[in-house]
Amino acid sequence: MSAPGTVHVVKLHPSNKAPDGLTRRARSFVSTHGVKIDTKSIEEHRQWWLERDIPTTVIDRMAAYQQRWGGLVLPPAPRYDGGPKYFHPDAPEGSPSEGWSFEAGDQRTAVPYSFMIGPDGEFGIHSHQWTPLHATVEGWVESLALAYHASMWAKQITKVTGDDVGGIPLGTYEPVREVKGLADNWWRGTDSLVAVYSGEAESLSFPAARTAVIYSGLDEWGLRGGVEDMDT
């Protein structure tokens, strides 16, 4: 149930404040690398959706999402063919029994799934099934910022796929809490970070797509830089 809109590009300067609730690392990432696109307010389409039996509460959620994230373009994510081109709510779908979701933003490329915001605010993908990747949009942004941070400071980067991901000894690692991981998660060891991406494997029922990236040789800054200074 998409509604038409127009966009134009505006630079998000480093002096602009990134959304609160992010670590210093993620705030710096958004402010430094983010670009802002002006999009039409979804309020212009509220009546159109109401006439198609979309609940007011769902449209209110979409409006809140647009207010916080709308039009934000971030650098490509290392998985999911880069993630959404930019954040913009559209195409609400669902039912009272299963809950309501809406699109988080258009794909950058022709991937076989949509990026969605779930009934409880999760960020995920939907193909054969709905697969939440992170418990919040903030978690997705933190994961993206951490990938850029880790790739800059790691001495070695190793990619592992399919069944071999299960052989990574994560027993001594701790989960990286700020990414709010669900299907995807990050783990912190004594000198390495491990990102595990299971979203495509679950949503597409394709276990071989499960991927882990190991960032090795990290010092304390590489492991934790900016994480302690988080907005509340």
How do the pLDDT tens digits run along the chain, 232 residues long? Answer: 656 554 545 555 444 567 888 999 999 999 999 998 888 888 999 999 999 999 999 999 999 999 999 999 999 999 999 999 999 999 999 998 889 999 999 999 999 999 999 999 999 999 989 999 999 999 999 999 999 999 999 999 999 999 999 999 999 999 999 999 999 999 999 999 999 999 999 999 999 999 999 999 999 999 988 765 444 3
At 110, list the tokens.
């022709």
Range of the domain at 108: 7-140
**Cβ atoms of 230 and 145 closer than 8 Å:** no
First to last CA, the chain: 35
Domain end among 140, 171, 188: 140
Domain end among 140, 160, 181: 140
CA 82 to centroid of chain Cα atoms: 10
pLDDT of residue 173: 96
At 184, list the tokens.
């995807």
| Burial grade of 4 (CB within 10 A; 0-12, 13-18, 19 or more) | exposed
3-state secondary structure 45-105: HHHHHHCCCCCHHHHHHHHHHHHHHCCEECCCCCCHHHCECCCCCEEEEEECCCEEEEEEE
121 and 32, same domain (yes or no): yes
Residues 6+ positions from 40 with CB-CB distance below 8 Å? 5, 6, 7
Domain end among 124, 140, 156: 140
In a domain, 111, yes or no: yes
Name the residue among 165, 186, 164 with its Cα closest to residue 174.
186
* Phi-psi sector, 94: left (phi>0), alpha (psi -120 to 50), beta: left
pLDDT of residue 128: 83
The total number of structural domains that make up the chain: 2
Name the residue among 222, 196, 221 with its Cα closest to residue 209.
196
In a domain, 232, yes or no: no
Distance (Å, rounded) from C-alpha 153 to C-alpha 218? 6
Distance (Å, rounded) from C-alpha 56 to C-alpha 60? 6
In a domain, 229, yes or no: no
| Burial grade of 20 (CB within 10 A; 0-12, 13-18, 19 or more) | exposed
79 and 125, same domain (yes or no): yes
187 and 126, same domain (yes or no): no
Name the residue among 108, 61, 90 with its Cα closest to residue 3.
90
20 and 36, same domain (yes or no): yes
